[in-house]
Amino acid sequence: MTEPTNYHVTNPATGELLETFPAAADVEVEAALTNATVAFATWKATPLEARAETALRVSELFTDRADELARTISREMGKSLTESEEEVEFASAIFAYYAKNAAEFTANREIESYSGGKAVIEHLPMGPLLGIMPWNFPYYQVARFVAPNLIMGNTIILKHAESCPRSALAIEQLLQDAGVPKGVYTNVFASHDQVARMIADQRLRGVSLTGSERAGAAVAELAGAHLKKVVLELGGSDPYIVLDADDVAAAVDTAWKTRLYNMGQACNSNKRIIVSEEIYDEFVDRMAARAQALQPGDPMEPTLGTYSPMSSMVAVGLLKEQVDDAVSKGAKLHAGGEILGDRGFYFSPAVLTGVTPSMRAYSEELFGPVAVVYRVDSDEEAVRLANDSPYGLGGAVFSADVERASAVARQLEVGMANVNTPAAEGPEIPFGGVKNSGYGRELGPLGMDEFVSKRLFYIAE
């Protein structure tokens, strides 16, 4: 693994380096492992009701500190302040959801025994866990991993993205203020080598990573070598199929807003928009017009008709390479696709058509504000194109005929198939994919069923 730079805060709107934080010393990492192990013995013995009550206090503090927390992530990764406020609200809702439903999700389940006696499946915590979290949703991603496992009785070591140290520290402080005991949750500014050593340590019992395919493969290899449970939420290139539309303008509005959310930096964004030939030309023209009308804006003061910066110049550069590669091989760039100015990490939202398998944009994830639109002349072609991807996170199908849309959606090779909505969303809705998008689930009842020891408890007659 390559060593990361020190943890830092760089304002994406200006490119200004605001703060730096050194990576953790080895003694800090060792202390985190030791404290998590010691705390596990007492935390798992703490009544479930008390653990849930602590999580509920976490939820309340997210709400109480919403303004400060939102400004922190907008400053760190360039998210529109409005979207940052929504993210804080979602994180709060996740903790409240698991606090409310924990007793049901962790209840013992008696099963029939054909040899007499009483057989029960118990749901028990596994032990210390490591969470490796990304920069694109600094609170939401942490909440969906931490909330169920905190209540379950596991202890957590959290390694956040190098570009989000302030939000990482804010989460840790919030949990401490909510009454989470020492060692139950610990933030560490770990290097990649330190992460590898933690995974190899016998005290650690599981790892959850949200990130790139490359990072997921590296973590899965290490975890497999040391027999650790892993949950991976990796990239996505979600198909977004529009079979028909009575109101093309409204259909474009929904598709464009979905693609521009978080400046396209979401794993389950609609990165491949597949449109029937009957409405394709109008759809593309309207989408290009939407892109051309936008101007760069300040994420701290979002206004209608503006867009925010991307998270880093590295991300901007990669997206530019992918778009330029497609254009050089015959794709048509209808709007945008330019790096703007010498301050900040702005990339003008783009609309791209004519993408073919010879282009990087066909098979790679475009993690930014680029809408790739494909024309199809049948439902069968839409399904074939949608499934012709190494990814399988989510997908959506739109049609006035719900049965038709449902029939197409059922054929998608994804972990989350949606009909007439870009994506179902809420603390109760499970999230996760198949193929190169990873494995395991977060959120909903399934999110509290991953890092769990499902022990058989049998009493003979």
Q: How many CA atoms lie within 13 A of 401 on its CB side?
A: 8
Write out the H or E segment, with its range, that includes residue 434: strand 434-435
Question: Are 213 and 200 a contacting pair, CB within 8 Å?
Answer: no
> CA nearest 230: which of 215, 208, 213?
208
203 C-beta neighbours (distance < 10 Å), count: 13
CB 189 within 8 A of CB 23: yes
Enumerate residues 6+ apart whose C-beta is below 8 A from 429: 443, 444
Strand (E) or helix (H) holding 405: helix 402-409
With vertex at residue 369, the alpha carbon angle to CA 367 and CA 373, rounded to the nearest 5 degrees, is: 95
User: Smallest Cα–Cα separation from 349: which of 403, 401, 293?
Assistant: 293
Between CA 26 and CA 24 the distance in angstroms is 6
The residue assigned the tokens 């169920």 is 148
| 319 residue type, one letter | L
Q: At what angle do helices 81-105 and 66-77 cross, to 10 degrees?
A: 120
Report which of 212, 308, 296 is spatially closest to residue 12, judged by C-alpha positions.
308
Provide the annotated active-site residues: 233, 267
Q: Which residue carries 């596991």 as its tokens?
A: 154
**E-assigned strands of 83-164?**
109-111, 118-125, 128-132, 155-159
Question: E strands within 126-242?
Answer: 128-132, 155-159, 185-187, 206-210, 229-233, 239-242
Which two structure tokens, joined as six digits, stand for 176? 């401490």
> Would you say 241 and 398 are in contact if contact means Cβ atoms under 8 Å apart?
yes
Let me know how many helices (H) and strands (E) the chain has, helices first.
14, 22
Which residue, 58, 360, 327, 36, is CA-closest to 180? 58
Residue 412's contacts (CB-CB under 8 Å, 6 or more residues apart) are: 239, 383, 386, 387, 395, 397
